[in-house]
Each structure stands twice: as structure tokens, then as C-alpha cells.
Amino acid sequence: MDIDAAREVARRAVERRDLPLLGQNPNVTYRMGIMGGTFDPIHNGHLVAAEQAFDDLNLDVVVFMPAGSPAFKQNKRVTMGEDRYAMTLLATSDNPHFLASRFEVDREGITYTAETLELLSLAYPPNVELYFITGADAIAEVVTWRDAEKIARLAHLVGATRPGYDLAHARNAIMASGLDFDVTYLEVPALAISSSYLRERVTAGQSLRYLTPDAVTGYIHKHHLYGVRPRRYGSTELHD
Ligand code: ATP
Ligand code: MG
């Protein structure tokens, strides 16, 4: 995609509020957080990490971007983008500085982080800085992602870690890559939560309360995601 086309795509996304309006004042530096992920489903770990990144790094906004067709999950079953986006929208809707975006879901083919960051950096003026937020376990892998050097050039990285998590692995991987990544590590408490854990719980008929917003749980039941077959709306009962 050429530069003008990329700008046009992003301009339209801003217009329909799918991307934040940022960068208007050239004398101000704006900081945009990007939380990428499969969000299958989104959970409180994602939300807490994003909120903490917002606070600690003085971000102006955090954009949650469910991946269209995630590069790493090509051989796994992933819930369709429309559902993952809807759950992300529900989970972020009451937070004024969170935004759920269709930017990746609507893109054809496999979504690569480097390409997303490139489109965003073309779309916004240089006084908008990009902060890509990820779990610290993923940080060690970023160096292996496609066009890692582009990621390093276009964005700051924010690695959310559990208290006591040993950062040596991530630090070594980054150092060994020889790439110039700017990483800030954040300690985020209570972060053993994962989407896989939630999916397993749903399938086993167990509660998701306090693991993800109730609106997300409601959506999962209403649309029978993850193998749940509720007798009535909101129930966690399984039947054959
Ligand atoms: P799965 O269990 O299916 O792998 P997940 O919980 O890891 O799902 P993803 O959508 O894969 O969720 O993750 C999106 C991003 O959020 C990734 O960068 C991941 O490292 C990060 N992340 C996931 N869970 C947490 C958590 N509990 N705390 C902080 N970051 C998290
Ligand atoms: Mg994961």
C-alpha cells in the first residue's frame, strides 16, 4: 500500500471513530497505546495491563486491536473477528480512554504487527508516538516477528510482567537480536489470567465472573461461544 492510500485508510478510520483523533497540536507530543492480541476472549488481564500502561507511561489513549487473522494462530481455531471485536468493544466501552478498533479485523489476510504500526505511523503526524503493549512473555518473541526491525523503529514497546517475573529471558532475547528496541517493563499484579483459561472454564461450565467484564460473559453465552450450550440466557449450564 502506498503512503497516500495508507493515509486515506487511516483518515477514514478516524472519521468513523475507529481510530482516535490525535496529533492536532504540532507543539504537543501525543502517546498512543496499542494493545494487539487475539482477544479470544478479552479478559481483565488485558484490561488491567492496558490501564496501567496508560497511567505509568502517560498515554493519551489505548487502542485495542483484535487481530484479523493472527500470524501465530493459523493452525488453531479462532473465533471469528466480528465476535472478538464485539467482546472487545463491550469490555472497553465504559473507559473513556480505551478504544476498540476494527483496524486489523477488517484487513484482508494475516495481520502482522509491523504492518499495522507502519500504517499508523503513516497516518499520524510525527508528534504522535506509538506504544505497543504486550505481555512480557511475548516481548522475548517480538524479535522473531516479521519485520522486527521495523517494529523497533516505529514503536516503543511496553512489556507487562507479573511481579517477580524474571526479565532476563526477554532482556537477553532483545540484546541478542541486535535490534534497537525501546522497552519499558511494567509490573502488573494478578496477571495469571489468559484467554485459554477462560475458554476452558466456559467449556467446563464454570463462572467467568471477575475474570472478564460481565458484558463479555453475557455475549459468550448469548452467542454460544467456546462450546457453551446454555438453557437460558446467562446460564453456565452445559447440556448434551
Ligand atoms: P491465549 O491464552 O489464547 O494465548 P492470551 O490471554 O495470551 O490468550 P492474547 O489475545 O493472546 O491473550 O494476548 C494479547 C496480548 O495481551 C499479548 O501481548 C499478551 O502477551 C498480553 N496478555 C495476555 N494475557 C495477559 C495478562 N494476563 N496480563 C498482561 N498481558 C497479557
Ligand atoms: Mg497468548
Q: Mind listing the pLDDT tens digit for each residue in 205-232? A: 999 999 999 999 999 999 999 987 554 4
pTM for the structure as a whole: 0.91
- Asked whether the beta carbons of 125 and 23 are under 8 A apart, the reply is yes
What are the distances in angstroms from CA 198 to CA 39, 186, 195? 11, 23, 5
Letter string b/e over residues 58-71, b meaning 16 or more CB atoms within 10 A of that residue's CB? ebbbbbbbbbbbbe
Alpha carbon distance 113, 39 (integer Å)? 15
Residue 232 confidence (pLDDT): 45
What residue's CA is closest to ligand 1, atom 25? 45
- For residue 197, which atom of ligand 1 is closest to its CA? 2
Distance 11 CA to ligand 1 centre (A): 29
Residues of the chain short of pLDDT 50, as ranges, are 231-233, 238-240
Distance 15 CA to ligand 1 centre (A): 29
Alpha carbon distance 43, 41 (integer Å)? 6
pLDDT tens readout for residues 7-30 = 888 889 999 999 999 999 999 999
Q: Which domains does the chain have, with CATH numbers?
A: 3-192 (3.40.50.620), 194-240 (no CATH)
Identity of the amino acid at 214: D
For residue 159, which of 149, 144, 148, 169 has the smallest C-alpha distance?
169
Count of all residues that appear for the chain in the document:
240
Residue 118 confidence (pLDDT): 93
Q: Which residues line ligand 1 (CB under 6 A)?
A: 37-40, 45-46, 49, 134-135, 137-138, 160, 188, 191, 193-196
What are the distances in angstroms from CA 121 to CA 10, 34, 130? 10, 12, 8
Q: Which three cell numbers stand for residue 133?
A: 503493549
